[in-house]
Amino acid sequence: MKNKLNLILISIFLVFCFFVFYNSLNNSSTYSPKINGEKKIPIFKARSFNSDNYIDSRSVFKENKYYIVNIWASWCVPCRREHPLLMELSKSKSVNLVGLNYRDNLNNANKFINNLGNPYAQILIDKDGNLAVEFGAYGVPETFLIDKNKKIIKKYVGPINQEILEEIKLITK
Amino acid sequence: MKIFKIFLIIFLSISFQQLKSDEKNDVFKYKILKNIRCLICQGQSVYDSESDFASSIKFFVDKKIAEEMSEEQIYELLREKYGTWIIYEPKLNKKTFVLWLLPLLLFLLGGAIIKKLIFKK
């Protein structure tokens, strides 16, 4: 009787283990971040790209508009791919684009903007990546959509594409 | 000469204190960075990783230590920005209590089995 009980308990345990491992096989082993969920924008001071002045986050996001914060760098290849879409988005009057130049060489960043055009109303320098961490970014490129209440309502990890562009246009119109 | 010696002693003691506090800070920083997961290069802590993400987090932690934030405050800030996954050691809550209690239960169960076997003999 005792042996039977032990056998049943061991069998239950093994079946449990089997299901746990079997279930884990179906899960992806790579981490995919949760990209949505409202968050407040961080409060910061950052150096402007066009001058040596430091700008306060409150003055960056002062207008009653939607804002796009795009993290970019001249060394980032996907940033070049998404740049024409940002240029297109910059034509919209309901949204202001803010660029965050991430861990970049200033000369190269200047060349990048001169060659491909400047879609940003304001560019901030993030020399050490601290500002990107304040936003909760993973790397470049990354784009945040900020609503009129100064809350991050969407986060796009990786380069934006036509579909994302349409989504942003639809939200901000 | 005497004054020079006194100055030398004061200078050395200040330098030694500074060295000691730097060492303490490094140990504190190491402990924190080892407990933060690199989200870009999984399987590595931020301390071990050389990715841009890890470098940014290292700078961020440095800054927060300089602002005299506690270890838990730094973890909380990172959890707010990246979720609970970023910290290796999970907090005890509704979702993680099994993770915390299971080793203890297994330990007690093992102890009970060993005790039973010994007394049986």
Model pLDDT for residues A94-117, shown as the tens digit of each residue: 999 999 999 999 999 999 999 999
CB of A2 within 8 Å of a chain B CB? The answer is: no
Q: Are residues B49 and B105 in the same domain?
A: no
Q: What is the pLDDT of residue A31?
A: 58
Q: Are residues B41 and B63 in the same domain?
A: yes
In this structure, the dihedral spanned by the alpha carbons of residues A89, A91, A96 and A101, taken in order and rounded to 10 degrees, is 60
Chain A residues whose CB is inside 8 A of the B57 CB are 129, 133
Find tokens 């879409």 and name the residue: A85
Mean pLDDT for the stretch of residues B10-19: 72
Question: In the β-sheet with A54-56, what is the strand arrangement from edge to edge?
Answer: A36-40, A151-157, A142-146, A66-72, A95-102, A122-126, A45-48, A54-56
Domain containing B41 equals: 2-89
Q: Are residues B62 and B99 in the same domain?
A: no
Q: Are residues B78 and B97 in the same domain?
A: no
> Does residue A58 form part of some domain?
yes
Domain containing A168 equals: 35-172
* Gap between the Cα atoms of A144 and A152, Å rounded: 6
Higher pLDDT, A30 or B81: B81
| Predicted confidence (pLDDT) at residue A30 exceeds the cutoff of 80 | no
What are A62-104's pLDDT values in tens digits? Answer: 999 999 999 999 999 999 999 999 999 999 999 999 999 999 9
Q: What is the pLDDT of residue B6?
A: 81
Total of domains in chain B = 2
Chain A residues whose CB is inside 8 A of the B80 CB are 39, 136
Best mutation target among B44, B52, B67, B76 (most A Cβ atoms within 10 Å) is B52
* Gap between the Cα atoms of A40 and A37, Å rounded: 10
Q: What is the pLDDT of residue A130?
A: 94
pLDDT range class, residue B26, cuts 50, 70, 90: confident
> Does residue A1 form part of some domain?
no
Q: Are residues B85 and B110 in the same domain?
A: no
Question: Taking CB atoms and an 8 Å limit, are A129 and B55 in contact across chains?
Answer: yes
How much is the pTM? 0.76
Q: What is the pLDDT of residue A125?
A: 96
Neighbours of B28 (CB within 10 A): 14
Total of domains in chain A = 1
Give the distance from residue A168's alpha carbon to the nearest chain B alpha carbon, in angstroms. Answer: 22
Q: What is the pLDDT of residue A133?
A: 95
* Gap between the Cα atoms of A167 and B102, Å rounded: 45
Q: What is the share, in percent, of chain A residues with pLDDT greater than 70?
A: 94
Q: What is the pLDDT of residue A29?
A: 60
Question: Taking CB atoms and an 8 Å limit, are B56 and A103 in contact across chains?
Answer: yes
Neighbours of A155 (CB within 10 A): 20
* Gap between the Cα atoms of A141 and A151, Å rounded: 20
DSSP state of B47: T
Chain A, nearest residue to B85 by Cα:
A31
